[in-house]
Amino acid sequence: MLQDFEGYSSFENDSHRNSFLLSITLMYIFFLVLAVLSPYRFEFSLKAIEQKILYQTNWIPFRNQLGMRNIEMSFWLLRDVGAFIPFGLLSTFCMRVVWPDLSRGYVISMVALSGVLFAIFLEFLKTTGVGRYGDVTVVMLACLGCIIGSVFFRFLSRSNRV
């Protein structure tokens, strides 16, 4: 539907398609923000948030995940990668619509960078919750998920030019 096949167009013009795409992307970003803040219990002291960022954040990747050997940690890792695959797909599509002449490697690197920046923002938001802390592993997994989504975009597009 978003690619507008030759004989059929579900949108009046390209600007309607692009605004629809932008609204889907913004709704997915809003969904991720709501999922990160899910208990909706917040720290109201900036000093407490600062202490959590400095002393409770997991700055060593995979330290907590490899310390506990159970199936739930494996699913946790897969869930964090999977949450950013649609973000990578949508970001790649947005970049291809806005800048169609960019090279594939540049698009993948820009999507990975945007995913990392968004994941850092989400981890910072997560530290504002009571009993929650930040984790560098999630940022790395978000980058991997964005790269996978960007690579999968090639398989899901109808032509090789996109």
Contact indicator for 75, 81 with CB cutoff of 8 Å:
no
E-state strands within 29-92: none
pLDDT at residue number 20: 85
pLDDT at residue number 58: 80
pLDDT, one tens digit per residue, over 132-158 is 888 888 999 999 999 999 999 888 876
**What are the C-alpha distances in Å from 28 to residues 79, 83, 87, 90, 147?**
15, 10, 7, 9, 17
pLDDT at residue number 31: 94
* Tokens, residue 126: 């997560």
- Going by C-alpha positions, the residue among 93, 86, 110, 95 that lies closest to residue 3 is 93
pLDDT, one tens digit per residue, over 45-79 is 889 888 888 888 887 777 666 666 777 777 888 89
Cα torsion through 121, 126, 129, 134, rounded to 10: -120
List residues bridging with 42 in a β-sheet: 129
Quote the mean pLDDT of the chain.
84
Ranked by mean pLDDT, which of 6-10, 40-44, 65-69, 105-109 comes out on top?
105-109
Q: Is the pLDDT of residue 17 over 90?
A: no
